[in-house]
Amino acid sequence: MSQKYYTVTWDQLHRDGRALAWKLLPLGPWSGIVAITRGGLIPAAIIARELDCRIIETVSVVTYEEQDRGEPRVTKPPTAAGSGAGWLIVDDLVDTGTTARVVRALLPDAHFATVYAKPAGQTMVDSYVTEVSQDTWILFPWDTEPQFTPPIAKARTGVR
The DSSP letter of residue 145 is -
Q: Which of 11, 68, 95, 109 is flagged as catalytic? A: 95
How many C-beta atoms lie closer than 10 Å to residue 117's C-beta? 24
135 catalytic per annotation = no
* Residues near 49 by beta carbon (within 8 Å), at least 6 away in sequence: none
Q: Encode 57-93: b = buried (16+ Cβ within 10 Å), e = exposed.
A: bbbebebeeeeeeeebeeeeebeebeebeebbbbbbb
State phi, psi for 113 to the nearest 5 degrees: -130, 140
3-class secondary structure for 11-29? Answer: HHHHHHHHHHHHHHHHHCC
Short-list 8, 35, 33, CA closest to 140: 8
Q: Which of 11, 52, 68, 92 is flagged as catalytic? A: 92
Q: Which of 68, 91, 135, 143 is flagged as catalytic? A: 91
Active site residues: 91-92, 95
